[in-house]
Chains A and B, each alone.
Chain A
Amino acid sequence: MENIHIPGTHGANFIPTVDFNAETGICTLGGESYLEDTVEFYAPLFKWLKNFTAETKKLIVFNFKLKYFNTSSSKCIIDILHILRKYQEKGGEIEVNWFYDSSEEDIEDELEEIEDFMIETNIKINMIPE
């Protein structure tokens, strides 16, 4: 399986940085996600994850390192978590980490959003200061 690597941009479009690695089982989504056509961007990522979870037996570590994301990207995050949950339900092992900036004083909003992701998808997300 081919790995996915997309360098993020901060400009006319805010494209997140994507690193999906089939050899290590480590997938990272970072940077900023404010796209005009969110579904168009995320659809290939969903497809990759679905194929990967169908083939592999490895531990999948999913690292979120997002600084900003809009509400339509948050729907896509939910979709990613649903794919991971299905993998978990059929016996796969997953670890989902959410990295946050520990130098920031106020992370209440961010914590609330992660809590909402956990409630909605029934997946445990580890909060990791960075």
Chain B
Amino acid sequence: MEFAENALQMYTDVVDSTIITYNGPFDAQVLSIIAENIEYSLSNNPRVSKKIFKIFIELAQNISYYSAEKQVNEEGNYFGVGILMLREFKDHYSFSTGNIIESKQVLPVLQKCETINILDREKLRQYKRKLRNMPSGVPGGGNIGLVQVALTADHPLEYDVINLDSEKSFYILNVRVNKS
């Protein structure tokens, strides 16, 4: 019985706290539906709503561009597939995303997260300005989305990578935003 009770408790906790959960391709249509949901669900707290919206767009675009799992839409465009969850807790919101990445991307992804987490706010802003001035496509440069996510959230990133096989890994990211 204990297992069933624990499972029920876990289910209730997740359902109670969940505002949005989505699993699938991150195309423009999906993005706009989730964005609308965020604006609607958090309309009582405009400050946090704006932050969550900004973070959502960057995380969703990251999945759309960088997920190693792609789906093609009717117009023949490819979009990255992943999972996204927005949950509400007593004093904070929590954004979690997961997507498959190529194993050769694991090291750069982990290094990027580590770099972001060791920098204080001023250094992080400097890092963002440096990356923004590098042309896209330069190794280590380009994508500043995650840096902006950390700045907007004002919390360190929580992240992990699970090895799936020799070629693929699963990348999990969790971002926290305080309610006040």
Say yes or no for B133: interface residue by CB 8 A criterion: yes
Taking A11-B32, A12-B32, A109-B51 as contacts, is the C-beta distance between A71 and B129 under 8 angstroms?
Answer: no
How far is it, in angstroms, between the C-alpha of A86 and the C-alpha of B86 when the chains are bound? Answer: 44
Taking A109-B152, A112-B125 as contacts, is the C-beta distance between A120 and B133 under 8 angstroms?
Answer: yes
* Chain B 128-170 near chain A by CB (<8 Å), digits 1 or 0: 1100110010000001110110011000000000000000000
Pick out which of these stretches binds chain A: B3-11, B14-22, B52-60, B92-100.
Answer: B52-60
Please give, as numbers and ranges, the residues of chain A lying within 8 Å of B152 by CB-CB distance: 109
Number of interface residues of A (CB under 8 A): 21
Taking A71-B148, A109-B152, A116-B125 as contacts, is the C-beta distance between A78 and B47 under 8 angstroms?
Answer: no
* Chain B 38-58 near chain A by CB (<8 Å), digits 1 or 0: 000000001100110110011
Please give, as numbers and ranges, the residues of chain B lying within 8 Å of A93 by CB-CB distance: none
Taking A12-B29, A36-B28, A71-B144 as contacts, is the C-beta distance between A116 and B61 under 8 angstroms?
Answer: no
Say yes or no for A104: interface residue by CB 8 A criterion: yes
* Chain A 1-37 near chain B by CB (<8 Å), digits 1 or 0: 0000000000111100000000000000000001010
Q: Which of A46-93 contact B (CB under 8 A)?
A: 68, 70-72, 74-75, 78
Taking A71-B144, A71-B145 as contacts, is the C-beta distance between A104 and B47 under 8 angstroms?
Answer: yes
Please give, as numbers and ranges, the residues of chain B lying within 8 Å of A11 by CB-CB distance: 32
Please give, as numbers and ranges, the residues of chain A lying within 8 Å of B54 by CB-CB distance: 68, 70
How far is it, in angstroms, between the C-alpha of A120 and the C-alpha of B134 when the chains are bound? Answer: 12
Say yes or no for A40: interface residue by CB 8 A criterion: no
Q: Is the CB of A74 within 8 A of B132?
A: yes
Query: What distance in Å separates the Cβ of A44 from its nearest Cβ neighbour in chain B?
Result: 19
**Most chain-B CB neighbours within 10 Å: which of A11, A36, A68, A105?**
A36
Q: Is the CB of B125 within 8 A of A105?
A: no
Please give, as numbers and ranges, the residues of chain B lying within 8 Å of A68 by CB-CB distance: 50, 53-54, 57
Please give, as numbers and ranges, the residues of chain B lying within 8 Å of A36 by CB-CB distance: 28
List the interface of chain A (C-beta within 8 A of B).
11-14, 34, 36, 68, 70-72, 74-75, 78, 104-106, 109, 112, 116, 119-120
Lowest 3 CB-CB distances: which A-B pairs, in order? A106-B47, A12-B28, A71-B144
- The 15 listed contacts between A and B (C-beta, < 8 Å) are A11-B32, A12-B28, A12-B29, A13-B32, A68-B50, A71-B58, A71-B147, A71-B148, A72-B61, A74-B132, A74-B148, A75-B132, A78-B133, A104-B47, A106-B47
